[in-house]
Amino acid sequence: MPQQKIDTHQHFLPKLYIDAVGLDILNAAMPNGVAPTWSEEAALAMMDENGIDVGILSISSGPTIPEAATLLRKCNDFAADLRAKHPTRFGSFASLPLPDIDAALKEVSYSLDVLKVDGFILFTNYDGMYLGDPHFTPLFEELNRRGAVVFVHPNQPPHEIPRVAPASVLEYPFETTRTATSLIISGALRKFSNVRFILSHAGGTLPFLVPRIALSISMMPGAIERVGDPLEAFKSLYYDTALSGGKAPLSALAQITTPDHILFGTDFPFAPTAAIRQFGTALDHIEIPGVDMDKVYGENAARLLGR
């Protein structure tokens, strides 16, 4: 067993968040029409059952948040209180009230200087702007100065969802791919190289599209000058295993990044406990050449997060 098992992709839903957003809206955002329930006790029980020592909490993507700066400050404080209560069990990725850059910068200072958070969660797009958009430059300048960790989580795309499957099935992995590609092609990933980006769900579809994207970058005027070596850009990103506990996605990750950039994640409570057990069993029995699963489970995240 690994010396420490760290779940970098674990969400929380405090009552203050549910009350502010509205349960009906949260239900409507789910594929089955029912938002998951969350409690401190349920999170600890899931962690104990699956041998997880530490869960890094974040507010998952959802509907537009009313009075975002006020509400997300309360959520960040809630996570900090939970960490203080269980200092060896919980950490947090703080939420930022984007696309308001000034408010986000204030929350960065408060979260790092007062709450001592592990990093930040950013969504793949805000009002249709993906993370490589110049709108986010002042934020990334500050996060780069501080050497921050940024956990990138998909949210609803800014276009109509094709009537094939709920957004979380296909559009969410595509969203992660879009925003990662945006960061790379815009040159933001290279410019803000002190920011450590974690991509949810094994990078969405990104690992399978690396050859195609790299070729396209080489053909786009001025792109190579901004990007540098595209393969090094993909390699520099971190990727979690949430909902991706299979040989195909992990084998693909092993081809595009170094083994120490693969992190364990569950997606609790949006992934039900039965699914977490199923993916956990798959991970326990996967053998990928060059990938040490003990390090994936804990050591890689411990090094990244300074734990």
Is 37 contained in some domain?
yes
Is 1 contained in some domain?
no
Is 244 contained in some domain?
yes
- pLDDT tens-digit series, residues 79-91: 999 999 999 999 9
CA distance 268 to 7: 9
Is 288 contained in some domain?
yes
Kindly tell me if the per-residue pLDDT of 168 is higher than 90.
no
- Confidence band (pLDDT; 50, 70, 90) for 2? low
Kindly tell me if the per-residue pLDDT of 73 is higher than 80.
yes
Mean pLDDT confidence for 129-148: 98
- Confidence band (pLDDT; 50, 70, 90) for 249? very high
- pLDDT tens-digit series, residues 39-64: 999 999 999 999 999 999 999 987 77
Q: For residue 237, give every residue at least 6 positions away whose Cβ sits within 8 Å of its Cβ, in sequence order, or none.
A: 180, 189, 197, 198, 199, 203, 257, 261
How many CB atoms lie under 10 A from the CB of residue 17? 20
Look up the pTM and report it: 0.96
Kindly tell me if the per-residue pLDDT of 27 is higher than 90.
no
Mean pLDDT confidence for 255-267: 96
CA distances from 54 to 11, 197, 285, 287, 305 (A): 12, 20, 22, 24, 12
Predicted local distance difference test score (pLDDT) of residue 32? 76
- What is the CATH classification number for the domain harbouring 241? 3.20.20.140
Under 8 Å between Cβ of 231 and 214: yes
**Domain range holding 117?**
6-305
Q: Which of 95, 103, 87 is nearest to 14 (CA)?
A: 95
Computed over every residue of the chain, the mean pLDDT equals 94
Is 230 contained in some domain?
yes
- pLDDT tens-digit series, residues 264-298: 999 999 998 999 999 999 999 999 998 999 999 99
Q: In the structure encoding, which two tokens stand for residue 231, read together?
A: 């393969």
If one counts the domains in the chain, the total is: 1
Under 8 Å between Cβ of 256 and 210: yes
Is 256 contained in some domain?
yes
Is 81 contained in some domain?
yes
Pairing of strands 125-126, 129-130: antiparallel
Is 104 contained in some domain?
yes
